[in-house]
Amino acid sequence: MQVETYEKGREEYQRRYGKLKDYISSLKIKDTSEITKFDSSDFDLTKLQARLADQAVKEKFEENIIGSKDIVLEINHDFNVLVFGIGSKIELLEKAMLELMKSNPQSYFFVLKGFKPLVNMKMFLQKMGEVLKIESHVRNPEQIIKCIENTPHSIIIIAHSIDGRHLLNEQAQKLLGQLSNCPNVRMACSFDNYRYPMICKIERAFFQCVHTNKPYFQEILQIFEDQVGKQKQEEGLWYVLSSMTQKQKSIVYYFAGRVLESRDGLNFQDLYDALSDEMIVSGKSQLNDNLKELMDHKIIIEKGGKYTMQYSNTILQELSQKFDEVIKQ
């Protein structure tokens, strides 16, 4: 009955205001030195704490949000919760998250924002592995989930928009399902697409309908920022690459694939070994000269003694595919 009511409400909302599109935004890495047991895909706890520093915002936020107590109750009883309904559910899950942090002080908390294009399940699981101190050589997502299941830690995941465009593929949903089935993991998730339950693989789940009727401000605001920034960044990258040598292009194409696997990057020796194995460079001085050129154009940057790239997953995937095309030639 609840689902039928929700579908009717959803259809009415779409009839009046148009279909709600997928949300995209840019990922801005912030200082995480003060984050201890909490870690997030985009470190939004820091932003939330900054907002709550304003007393007026804090008082408004602390007002009871309908549905948040039910989420906390169900999570504390070892169930997963999937929240759907008309309106943004970010504040609802944030409110539940703060209550859960009080009642579960020993748990590790992670936040996944499905409407962000720079976040995918592989990267999210690798980040979880780093925080939980899972051995660094374990990079396969399914292996990481098995390691997470074997850790002694209690883990709570707050997942916004798990029906986001980059989480709707079969592999991402499979990994979400496997993660939700870990006995030490509990998840509170939100979704908007009324067809999502047909592909959902999350287990031990309660479906909860909450119509917040709040605007999708945070989700939609960043669409324009991302589109403009991404367009300028992409145009500049391809323009610079067009004047590069084939060897420099091959370095960029190959390295993009490695950055997709891990945003941490590689030190000089590891990068040389990898490029040498692929027969892209034949000596360290050759790599050094090409790196200098690429760093001058800020295509590759050095951060904490390691080389990396600061492009979106979409651009990195396009670059990596170029390397595959070069290999086939």
| Residue 229 within a domain | no
H or E stretch covering 63 = none
Task: Give the domain CATH number at 284.
Answer: 1.10.10.10
Asked if residue 312 belongs to a domain, the reply is yes
Whether residue 238 is contained in a domain is answered as no
Q: How far apart are CA 234 and CA 283, in angstroms?
A: 30
* Per-residue pLDDT reduced to its tens digit, 13-43: 445 444 333 322 222 333 333 333 444 444 4
For residue 199, what are the CA distances in angstroms to 130, 185, 204?
29, 20, 15
Domain presence at residue 239: no
Q: Taking phi first (over 0 means left), then psi (-120 to 50 degrees means alpha), and beta for anything else, what does residue 109 get?
A: beta
Banded model confidence at residue 66, pLDDT cuts 50, 70, 90: low
* pLDDT on residue 29: 30
- Nearest-5° angle of CA 188, CA 52, CA 20? 50
Same structural domain, 167 and 253: no
Cβ atoms of 74 and 202 closer than 8 Å: no
Are 256 and 206 part of one and the same domain? no
Range of the domain at 297: 244-324
Cα torsion angle, 136, 138, 139, 143, sign = negative
How far apart, in Å, do the first and last CA atoms of the chain sit?
58
- Residue 169 has φ and ψ, to the nearest 5°, of -70, 160
- Reported as type and span, the H/E element at residue 150 is helix 141-150
Kindly report the CATH number assigned to the domain that includes residue 63: 3.40.50.300
Work out the average pLDDT over 57-82. Answer: 78
pLDDT band at residue 69 under the 50/70/90 scheme: confident
pLDDT digits (tens, 9 = 90+) for 277-298: 888 998 999 999 999 989 888 8
* pLDDT tens digit sequence for 216-229: 877 776 555 566 55
Taking 50 as the threshold, does the pLDDT of residue 319 lie above it?
A: yes
- 3-class DSSP state for residue 5? helix
Same domain, 59 and 108: yes
